[in-house]
Amino acid sequence: VLTAPVRPQSAEYGGCSLRRMSVMEALELLDQLVDESDPDVDFPNSFHAYQTAEGIRRAHPDKDWFHLVGLLHDLGKVLALFGEPQ
């Protein structure tokens, strides 16, 4: 059951009608974002995703699902490029 604040977001984004893209396209798009939580970082946001996934792979080589989570963990931030607050 979706809570009240989630319903409008689910209605707007749940159908994926805003834009369709691959994970790689979303990672590239993420590079256009200046992350308010870390604005002084001078490398692309996609680099952070790859770095996180690689760190997890080294620490947990037997958990391939976890490597993927490391890669995907910030992809929701692309919504800031479409007007959502960070």
Name the binding residues.
48, 73-74
Around Cβ 52, how many Cβ atoms within 10 Å?
17
SS3 percent helix, strand, coil of the chain, rounded to 5, is: 55, 0, 45
**Annotated binding-site members for Fe cation:** 48, 73-74
d(CA 66, CA 43): 23
